[in-house]
Every structure is written in C-alpha cells, then in structure tokens.
Chains A and B, each alone.
Chain A
Amino acid sequence: MSHTHLELTQVGIDFPTPKGPFCALQNVNLNIAKGEFVSLIGHSGCGKSTVLNIVAGLYQATTGGVLLNGREVDEPGPERAVVFQNHSLLPWLSTYQNVELAVKQVFKGKKSRAEMREWIEYNLELVHMTHAMDKRPDEISGGMKQRVGIARALAMEPQVLLMDEPFGALDALTRAHLQDSLMEIQSDLKNTVIMITHDVDEAVLLSDRIVMMTNGPAATIGEILEVKLPRPRNRIALADDAEYNHYRHQVLSFLYEKQRKVEDISQRRSAEKPQATVEATQHQQEEPVQQKVRAQA
C-alpha cells in the first residue's frame, strides 16, 4: 500500500457551452495506493462523476492528467472497469452472457473456452448470482442486476474498479446487503476501488479514505479523511462505535456546514449576514463532536 498506483495530477476539465467554456473541475490531486478503497463524496453536481469518468477515460481532462502504473490514461479500457449506477446490463442477454461478453473481450486468446466458463461462473459465484445465470436482466430484481454489474466488472480483472453510485438506486436493506457483499469480496480480492457515493454511512463503512469534494462550478477536493477503522467491519458493532461516529460526523459537517448546498430561500437569508453564518458554522462544527465523545465515555 506504499507506492502510488493511480495518480491524478492537477486534473481539471472545461465543458464547452454556447457562453464559453464552463469549468466543472479544477486542481484535483489525488494519489491512490494499490488495494486502497477510496470514496468520493459531495453534493449533486459537484463533479464526482466527472472525476470518475476522467479516470475511466470516458472524458478527457482539459488540464492535468491521470497516471495508472506510470502510464497515462487517455481512453477507456477494461483495466479500469466501471460499475454504473443503473447496472447497464444488456437487456437482451442473460446474466451469464452479460459477463461472458466482458470475459470474451478481455481474455480473448488468453483463456480457453472451459477456462472462460469457469471464470464467468466464479465471478457470478462471488456476487452470489449463480442461481440466475440464465435469467435476463428484466427477470431479476434491482439489487441482483447491480450484483451482476459488479460481477461483470470484476470479471475484467481490473487494476482499478470504478463504481459510480453503485447502490444509489437501491432500497436501504438491499443496499446494506450489497455493501456487506462488497466488503467480503474486497477482503478476498484486494482491488483498488474508487466509489462515488451520496451516503455518509456507506462511505465510512467501506472506505480507507473518503475524498470530500467542494461544490461546483470549478469543484475540487475539499478534504480527505482517512478512516482507520479495523477490518473486517461490522455495521451493527460500528453503529455504537465512537470512532465510527466521529468519522461520520466529520463527513456530515463537511457536507452540511462547510459545503452547504444553499437553497433559494436560505441564500437570501445568508446574503444579509454572511459573516455571522460562517462563524456560526465553524463554531457548531466542533461542539457536537465533544458532546458525542463525552456521551460515549
């Protein structure tokens, strides 16, 4: 975990608009070690997905660049597999065939037919989906589709696994279930993962580091929080854990105090007394932590 595996240097991107370039992202610097699990968290529209798409190679950075193992990323490829938010399985293929499409593409000429079959089944087994191998995506639930999406990405044997809000469209129970599955897989495979999330609990539970992003336009990394909770992590045990809650609090305070997404009404109010608001947020930020710790003690 010492040397840099994935390196983002001064990454910025401008999108052309009729009114001139719109700077969505700037000065993003991030080094990720092999086997590290990093979450990107921030409000909607802050450019989290843009960062992920740049690493995936689906967008080209306007400034700066991405290095993977010392080589520049300039196009999409299976060594940076993506798990999309809405599963993106091909609806006309069965679960097995969806994974097969990826495996055939990546291991063409490297694995025999039988080896490919075994590898596909192994990956479906990882996400506990072997029972639905011959089902089409519209015949299985949302959670199952997402599992297959993860299996497809894992089957590419990626150097970096990119997950774009993988559990965002799922209900809370299914989400918890899949998070547990993901932690289990992660403890086996030790993949390098970048995951985008909206969910503070998810970020703290799964990550080694949480990258918190400021609001756009011209969004960048605000703070990076290292989560030093020992693994394996258990959500029930952690629910009462002071350290866990401390991390959770730090993310929450970043999102809802420092990077508060100002709504129309509150915007008008804060415009009257901007100075006071800033002071108040800074003040609030420290106090609840102390209270929490005391309560635990």
Chain B
Amino acid sequence: MSTALLYLNKLYLSKLNLAKWTPTQWRLLAQQLFFPMLGLALFLTFWHLGAQQINTSLGTFPGPVEVSQQWSNLVDEHRQETQRKHEFYERQEQRNADLLAKNPDAELRWRDYSGRPTFFDQILTSLWTVLSGFALATLIAIPLGILIGLSANVYRAVNPLIQVFKPVSPLAWLPLVTLVVSAVYVSSDPMFSRSFLVSMITVTLCSLWPTLINTSVGVSSISKDLQNVSKVLRLGWFTHVRTIVIPSAIPMMFTGLRLSLGIAWMVLIAAEMLAQNPGLGKFVWDEFQNGSSDSLGRICVAVVVIGLIGFLLDRTMLLLQSWINWDKSAVVR
C-alpha cells in the first residue's frame, strides 16, 4: 500500500498530463491500484462474514458496517462536545462581562471546561505522550549510542545491561515507574500530570533500545579509511564526532529511530490502559469496562485508528530520514 502511494506520487509528479500517458503507465497504475484494492476488498468481505458468526456477551461482533457507523458516532460526539465547550466559554465570557458592567471591581472566576475528552482529544493526548517519550528516548539513546560505539570498553561495560533490560515488557516496568514517579515527583503545582509522566517514562524505557543499539553499531562500523583521514588531519574529539562519526552513523541511527518509534507507539497503548493516562489506551479500556452494545465497534474503530497513526508516524520518520540523510540513493521503504 505504502509503495503504491509513493509510486502514484511519483507518477503524478512526473506526468501530470494524463492524456500523454503511455499504455505502460496505465498498466502500472492499474497494477499499483488494483492489487491493494483487491486485498482490501477481500479483507472486508471475510471480516463481514466472519463477524456474524461470533456472538460475544456484548452482542454480535461488529462488522465493517457497524464499525463505520461507530466512527461517524464518534465524529458526531466530538462535534457536539466542541460545540458545548464553545458555548460554555461564550456563556462564561458573557457572565463575566455582565459582572464587570455592574461592578468594575467584581471578582471574576474563570473556569476551564471540564467535559469528557472525546475520541479525538484522546488521540491528541496519545500523540503528545508518545512523542515526548520518544524524544526523551532519543535524547538518551543517541549520545549514549555514540559513546558506546566509539569505545570498546564502554561497550563491554554497558552491553550486558542493554541485553538484560531490552526484552523487559512495558507491563513489568509500569508498576515500578508508577511508584517511583509518585514518590519522586511531588509538587503542589505539577507541570505534568503523574499519569502522563508514568506513560511517558514507560514509553522511553521500552523504546530507547533499538536507537541505542543501532547508533552504536553505526558508529563502531565507521570505515577505517575515514578514521585515518581524521587522524591525519588531527581532528579534535568534537570535530571528529561532528564531521565523521555522526554523518556516517546517520543511516543506522534512522533505522533505530524508526524501530523505536514503532515500539513506542505499541507500548504507549498498553501503558495508557494501565496507567489510566488519558489517551487511546484509556479509551479502549473504558469501552471494555463500559460494556455497552456499541463498545466493541468503538474498540474496532480505535484499533484501526491506532494502526493508521502508527503507519503515519513511520511515514513521517521516513520523510525526516530522506530529508536529513546525505545518502539520497539509500533505498527508503
């Protein structure tokens, strides 16, 4: 699907004039569109037929039709909620204006709207959390990876720890992180909510490994010749890292970053479920606890959205890679 999109993109960019398309181009277009469509159609058919056979305690498993209905329900809910929020603030504005008109010294109260977060609010929260966790992981993993890659002794010291902590599931980290955060992060006016910190740190702990490992491998496999060039030029340590080490490790770094972002997104949903941090994970959990006849459909919507966002995050990373990477000939997919 993704390659198809890229390909179409290329086709449109190169030949906007449809009238001049050759039969080969039309055939390629048909191939690129037809097979993905065929796959999608087959999947929807099997889903539709299969779903009717499964009876759960919450009714029949939702098929594509029910799920798309739930999607529009969620969109409607969001619209209504936005409307209500808008009206609330208008009323508040009006009330305060009235108060000021009667008495210029009146004490005004401004309240935040405290409605239930909608599905789309949850998406934004999730994105914010995952990007913070991922950014923190990157800030730790890249410098550490460079140090590990540069020195065999640092590698020897750190490698056992990496190997042990890398496979730990987010579910195992979560209780520890929860307790540590509530013990350490005590503030009367917290900048971040605790649940946010817990999910974010869990995401960081689980997602930093691929970047760390790939960066260190990228750094340690710099060509001997380039290292010799650096020695002959007597480049200082920082210049060496900046001009030789980082550019040569960039392709590997991005491989790591993409893996990390994928993991971060997967871990986030689990972390949000358990940490009760507002977000898609909490949305799924709440619907599961809610147990209405719509719940399964809504969870299915969440599943599809989670998948699509994961895909978009990966594409964004690729875009960033093709923008930053000096090796434009590198196969990007």
Contact = CB atoms under 8 A, between A and B. Distances in A.
A80 B250 CA distance: 30
Q: How large is the interface on A (under 10, 10 to 19, 20 to 34, 35 or more residues)?
A: 20 to 34
Nearest to A82: B232
B243 interface: yes
B65 interface: no
Interface stretch (A84-92, A119-127, A197-205): A84-92
Contacts of B223: 88
Nearest to B246: A92
B312 interface: no
Contact of B228 (A76, A91, A156): A76
Interface in A7-61: 56-58
Given A84-B225, A92-B327, A58 B231 contact: yes
A57 B183 CA distance: 56
Contacts of A82: 228-229, 232
A81 interface: yes
B235 interface: yes
Contacts, number: 54
A91 B232 contact: no
A78 interface: yes
A78 B225 contact: no
A105 interface: yes
A286 interface: no
A194 to B, nearest CB: 14
Contacts of A156: 233
Interface residues of B, number: 19
A41 B231 CA distance: 25
A84 B231 CA distance: 13
Contacts of A106: 233
B228 A58 contact: yes
Interface in B218-260: 223, 225-226, 228-229, 231-235, 239, 243-244, 247-248, 250
Given A91-B326, A92-B247, A101 B233 contact: yes
A90 B226 contact: yes
A275 to B, nearest CB: 44
B228 A138 contact: no
Interface of A: 56-58, 75-78, 80-82, 84, 86, 88, 90-92, 101-102, 105-106, 136, 138, 156
Interface of B: 223, 225-226, 228-229, 231-235, 239, 243-244, 247-248, 250, 326-327, 329
Which 3 residue pairs spanning A and B have beta carbons closest together?
Answer: A92-B326, A88-B225, A76-B231
